[in-house]
């Protein structure tokens, strides 16, 4: 891939559309597939680690898609239609209440995702944070390795800016619960600062008052709902909640709402991948594949029934599967007939291949045809990793399982 710019109309295979915001090094462009992307031009001496940048997965960090470490280095990321934090604060004023808490939480989660790959942001600030649906999305990251402690300091300055409109505002201008966390992140000794994961944990429990007259966050909790107060320690870490009831506070939901939407999207994607994989297996080995499909959809229906239903649940699940078999059989017969008719007009398709595709179509009906949604819904529930705060790791585990299954079934 070439990094040369041709008459400033193209950068590599990407066609330039505009230059968003006021950043002279960032262009909006269209990829070869027509997808909107943002291209950041880098200094000639920069050597971006594109492979590791693409491994950063978080709803609070822009997705890196491509890049060129050559003589004209650049990084291609998903185009995010948001506004820089600096502009948002200039127009609407400093943040407060739940909006500020979600900003602090999202920025910490973004840094934690970047640091897990061994990279650092290196330039976190009001100009490299976009506000999308009142949640932060971090851009322009990972041109340095390590230096996580400097990112933590930048987190404190950026959150201070969001709360006051100034990077260097004195601590007494910050909400009371935020002060010890910011102070810990600004500690003169980098080794004494909390890491990004600790910041996220503490920020999720902040109780920040809304300033009268400030624009309320659309997801702010109702008045009187308690939030957990962080117990800051001198070393910047936070104490565990004093009781399970406090740990399960309802006030955490708004901070997690943005991430929850992404998690549900992953669940739908993983479920769709499983269905496609199952249909592919049936096409390759029709008889065995159909038997496995019947067993799988029945077990999924059983998994979706109450445990106390016992044998009745099994019988009900088996009965519902049997009801869908005639539906699947009609489709399984119609598809080969249609393919045979098409091949008679033009083209070649042997009867065994047509029957294999018919079996695959029948399997698709058993999984997810109109009116047959129970197995697919149960797959989404299984794929959804939102259990006890272990979402990202469980999501990665589900994805790894799908990849393993697809490789095992490949011819």
- Number of Cβ atoms within 10 Å of the Cβ of 180: 19
**CB distance 53 to 119 below 8 Å:** yes
**CB distance 291 to 328 below 8 Å:** no
Q: Which helix (H) or strand (E) holds 315?
A: helix 310-345
Mean pLDDT of 345-359: 80
Which of 43-47, 325-329, 334-338, 407-411 shows the lowest per-residue confidence on average (mean pLDDT)? Answer: 407-411
Task: Indicate the CATH number for domain 83-250.
Answer: 1.10.510.10
CA atoms of 399 and 269, how far apart (whole Å): 10
| Domains in the chain: boundaries | 5-45+67-78, 83-250, 258-409
Q: What is the pLDDT of residues 376-392, one digit of tens each?
A: 777 776 665 443 333 34
Model pTM above 0.75: no
3-state secondary structure of 68: strand
> In this predicted structure, what is the pLDDT of residue 254?
41
Give Cα separations from 18 to 5, 9, 23, 72, 348 (angstroms): 14, 10, 11, 19, 48
CA atoms of 150 and 156, how far apart (whole Å): 10
Q: pLDDT band at 262, cuts 50/70/90?
A: low
Q: What is the CA radius of gyration of the chain?
A: 26
- In SS3 terms, 140-171 reads as CCCCEECCHHHHHHHHHHHHHHHHHCCCCCCH
CA atoms of 204 and 228, how far apart (whole Å): 8
Which of 137-141, 231-235, 254-258 shows the lowest per-residue confidence on average (mean pLDDT)? Answer: 231-235
Residue 348 has pLDDT above 50, yes or no: yes
CA atoms of 46 and 48, how far apart (whole Å): 6
Q: What angle do CA 155, 75, 270 make, to 5 degrees?
A: 80
Mean pLDDT of 304-309: 50
The half-sphere exposure of 410 on its side-chain side, counting CA atoms within 13 A, is 7
Q: What is the pLDDT of residues 180-207, one digit of tens each?
A: 999 999 999 999 999 999 999 999 888 8
């Amino acid at each position: 891939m070439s990094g040369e710019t041709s008459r400033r109309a193209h950068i590599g295979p990407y066609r330039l559309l505009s230059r968003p915001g006021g950043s002279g090094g960032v262009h909006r462009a269209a990829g070869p597939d027509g997808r909107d992307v943002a291209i950041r031009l880098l200094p000639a001496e920069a050597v971006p680690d594109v492979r590791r940048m693409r491994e950063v997965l978080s709803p609070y960090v822009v997705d890196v898609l491509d890049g060129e470490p050559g003589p004209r280095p650049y990084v291609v990321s998903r185009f995010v239609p948001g506004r820089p934090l600096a502009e948002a604060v200039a127009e609407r004023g400093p943040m407060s209440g739940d909006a500020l808490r979600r900003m602090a939480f999202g920025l910490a989660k973004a840094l934690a995702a970047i640091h897990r790959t061994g990279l650092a942001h290196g330039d976190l600030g009001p100009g490299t944070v976009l506000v999308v649906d009142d949640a932060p999305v971090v851009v322009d990251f990972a041109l340095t390795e390590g230096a996580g402690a400097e990112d933590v300091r930048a987190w404190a300055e950026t959150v201070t800016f969001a709360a006051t409109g100034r990077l260097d505002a004195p601590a007494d201008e910050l909400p009371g619960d935020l002060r010890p966390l910011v102070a810990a992140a600004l500690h003169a000794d980098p080794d004494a600062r909390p890491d990004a994961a600790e910041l996220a944990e503490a920020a999720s429990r902040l109780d920040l008052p809304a300033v009268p007259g400030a624009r309320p966050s659309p997801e702010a909790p109702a008045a009187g709902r308690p939030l957990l107060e962080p117990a800051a320690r001198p070393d910047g870490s936070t104490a565990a909640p004093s009781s399970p009831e406090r740990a399960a506070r309802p006030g955490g939901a708004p901070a997690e709402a943005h991430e929850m939407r992404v998690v549900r999207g992953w669940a739908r994607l993983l479920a769709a991948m499983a269905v496609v994989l199952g249909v592919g297996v049936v096409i390759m080995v029709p008889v065995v594949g159909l038997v496995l499909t019947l067993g799988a959809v029945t077990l999924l229906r059983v998994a979706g029934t109450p445990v106390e239903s016992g044998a009745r649940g099994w019988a009900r699940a088996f009965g519902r599967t049997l009801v869908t078999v005639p539906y699947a059989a009609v489709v399984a017969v119609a598809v080969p007939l249609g393919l045979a008719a098409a091949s008679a007009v033009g083209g070649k398709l042997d009867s065994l291949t047509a029957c294999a595709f018919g079996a695959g179509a029948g399997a698709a009906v058993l999984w997810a045809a109109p009116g047959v949604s129970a197995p697919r819904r149960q797959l989404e529930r299984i794929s959804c990793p939102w259990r006890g705060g272990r979402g990202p790791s469980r999501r990665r585990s589900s994805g790894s399982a799908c990849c393993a299954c697809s490789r095992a079934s490949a011819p």
